[in-house]
A and B are shown apart, each in its own frame.
Chain A
């Protein structure tokens, strides 16, 4: 099957180095300390952050840093066929762990000892790149909650089909069986915090694909900064500053 046409267009009409349309909104869940919704094309996720708050399970309390917990779950209607078991299955557990470790790396946990920060992510529509969308939404939600972080964490995926590196795969391209590289970076510090790949790829091509994904992450970071700036201006305005 042809994923990149001879004119250089993909199945949804994008160019190989073009991302899907991003849309983000901060403060969507009134009850949460911080929340955000993030859309990358047709993939829509909502992240909510509760914390820092008292540790619910005293046995897990740490005296020198905050405990970070994360849960990833998909809605039953998020994928094409209705899912039977939206959480507790292996994929969801793995992604919960990945998101937790990624965010833990950038939160300044030593500033909030004996407390707990909960990050919950709910996927409402899944069209490839859910891992990345969840990390981006979690970053926005943590910023909305005012939790101190070293830097934003942004994430994007890239693949390699029909001998072309492709940025931001959707579900059809992801299920094509080609390699899928997901990268999470701290843009200001220029450090990589998450790197996952499956399928096979020669090393020199891998470097190109990873570089493409990092460019995508930087583009997401710029967009997130704009959103946060806009949000802060709104808060200033409402306070009458």
Chain B
């Protein structure tokens, strides 16, 4: 934590901490005047992002994503189901976002966090409408069997920018997903072929020959920005989000087309120029992050 004055003795450090707690808005505005934030980042910079694939061994696809301290664990499990009558060639994706009580002191057990169903809905809308996944790839036997992909995302540490981290972990989990090999057995039911049974005789050929990965088109990338007076702060931490409540989430895909825009009210009003600035920041940050992740 940077002290605003240079001296290091305990009494001045206590003052800074107390000032931060008692007058949080003024503390942050003092930093914004110098175009910097309390953790030392410039206004338009996102926090360091890391992704690790395959975090959950028992799931078909999984990933752990961290933006700064915000940690999300996403896992995809596939189950066989009968497709709907109006779309016999398509599988289905069910997305669920959980905020267990470990992630934040504000989440009480027994009462789910307010943000959880909101982010679930946003994620579902964004992922399905972005066209990242072609549901026809999840089909097995037309009209009879298709994959239902259950995506569960758990927030393990909530330090701001929850939607960004959740979307990142969801995309990473889908990129890690391997569809297992199955075949149709005599009763007309789909069974998993595991490596031991591959020598056994089957009535029909395996429905899919080998474990395959999903093809992901147009991967969406999201960035949340806080709007406060004339300042735009990219990738807010939890402390910043609780003080300045107006935020704008911009989701772009890999060809920098706009997938989704969300500004859910808030005391601040935004000029259209601010929105264009946010889109610009998203572009720069997504280029920077994809360089880091490779």
Contacts and interface: CB of A to CB of B under 8 A. Distances in A.
A118 B77 CA distance: 31
A35 B109 CA distance: 17
A120 B107 CA distance: 11
Contacts of A124: 56, 73, 154
Given A77-B75, A122-B100, A122-B102, A31 B157 contact: yes
Contacts of B154: 75, 122, 124
A46 B102 contact: yes
Contacts of A46: 102, 156
B235 to A, nearest CB: 15
A80 B58 contact: yes
A122 B57 contact: no
Interface in A34-78: 35, 42, 46-48, 50, 53, 56, 69, 71, 73, 75-78
B159 A30 contact: yes
Contacts of A42: 57-58
Looking at chain B, what size class is its interface with the partner chain?
20 to 34
A75 B75 contact: yes
A29 B59 contact: no
The CB with the most chain A CB atoms within 10 A, among B102, B154, B158, B159, is that of B102
Contacts of B157: 28-31
B100 A73 contact: yes
B27 interface: no
Nearest to B107: A120
A53 B56 CA distance: 33
B105 A53 contact: yes
Contacts of B238: 31
B58 A71 contact: no
B77 A120 contact: no
B104 interface: yes
A125 B75 CA distance: 11
Contacts of A77: 56, 58-59, 62, 75, 77, 150, 152
A32 interface: yes
B109 A120 contact: yes
B156 A118 contact: no
Interface in B104-136: 104-105, 108-110
A14 B41 CA distance: 50
B88 interface: no
A50 B109 CA distance: 12
A53 B104 CA distance: 13
B261 to A, nearest CB: 29
B79 A31 contact: no
B283 to A, nearest CB: 29
A53 B100 CA distance: 19
A120 B102 contact: yes
Contact of B105 (A32, A75, A82): A32
B24 interface: no
B219 interface: no
Contacts of B69: 30-31
A1 to B, nearest CB: 16
A210 B102 CA distance: 32
A101 interface: no
A42 B110 CA distance: 28
B162 to A, nearest CB: 12
B276 to A, nearest CB: 33
A71 to B, nearest CB: 4
Contact of A125 (B58, B98, B100, B110): B58
B101 interface: yes
Nearest to B77: A82
B56 A31 contact: no
A199 to B, nearest CB: 26
Contact of A122 (B62, B105, B110, B156): B156
B274 interface: no
Contacts of B98: 75-76
Contacts of A31: 69, 103-105, 157-159, 238
A164 B143 CA distance: 51
B96 interface: yes
A30 B159 CA distance: 8
Given A30-B69, A31-B158, A79 B100 contact: no
24 contacts: A29-B71, A29-B102, A29-B103, A31-B103, A31-B159, A31-B238, A42-B58, A48-B101, A48-B102, A71-B109, A73-B100, A75-B75, A75-B98, A76-B75, A76-B150, A77-B152, A78-B58, A79-B58, A120-B109, A122-B154, A122-B156, A124-B56, A124-B154, A125-B58
Given A30-B157, A69-B109, 20 more contacts: A28-B157, A29-B102, A31-B69, A31-B103, A32-B102, A42-B58, A46-B156, A75-B73, A75-B152, A76-B77, A76-B98, A77-B77, A77-B150, A77-B152, A82-B77, A82-B79, A120-B101, A121-B102, A122-B100, A125-B56
Interface of A: 28-32, 35, 42, 46-48, 50, 53, 56, 69, 71, 73, 75-80, 82, 118, 120-122, 124-125
